[in-house]
Amino acid sequence: MHELGIVKHVIKTLGDVAKENGVKRIGSVTLEVGEVSGVVIEQLVDCWNYFREKNELVKNAELTVETLEAVTFCTACEKTYRTVDHGRICPFCKSKETYLLRGNEFSIKQIEAELIDE
């Protein structure tokens, strides 16, 4: 379950961002996760719910996960298609000369935070 390590890294990153920007508490976090990133969303959410209660910065913070569609490009016919539906073989020309354009990303898209009073 690498989702455990991912959530720990996200919370550490949020801590670094909070420190740099004078943030006292984070209310919500939006993550972007590619369809073929290998991340199991349900496990990610479970890990988030566990670890957020152990960290005052993100305690009770909501997590939103946006799934990014995986798209593959075929170099033979120069068309794109949904990776999950067709895999590596182009549905248009049956070529294996393809590569993933997007869909394996993982990023913090948005943080909703409360600033420290000056």
Q: What is the pLDDT of residues 58-104, one digit of tens each?
A: 999 999 999 999 999 999 999 999 999 999 999 999 999 999 999 99
The token duo for 44 is: 């990610």
In a domain, 40, yes or no: yes
Query: Against a cut of 0.85, is the pTM above it?
Result: yes
pLDDT class of 1 with cuts at 50, 70, 90:
low
How many structural domains does the chain have? 1
One DSSP character per residue, 36-69 reads TS---HHHHHHHHHHHHTT-TTTTT-EEEEEEEP
pLDDT of residue 89: 98
Sign of the dihedral defined by the CA atoms of residues 104, 107, 110, 112, in that order: positive
In a domain, 79, yes or no: no
pLDDT of residue 114: 82
Q: Exposure of 25 by Cβ count < 10 A (0-12 exposed, 13-18 middle, 19+ buried)?
A: middle
pLDDT at 118 over 60: no
- The Cα–Cα gap between 72 and 36 comes to 11
- The Cα–Cα gap between 31 and 13 comes to 13
In a domain, 93, yes or no: no
Q: What is the CATH number of the domain that holds 7?
A: 3.30.2320.50
In a domain, 8, yes or no: yes
Domain limits at 62? 3-69+103-115
Q: What is the pLDDT of residues 10-54, one digit of tens each?
A: 999 999 999 999 999 999 999 999 999 999 999 999 999 999 999
102 within 8 A of 68, measured Cβ to Cβ:
yes
pLDDT of residue 117: 65
pLDDT of residue 115: 78
**Opening angle at CA 7, ends 57 and 15, nearest 5:** 30
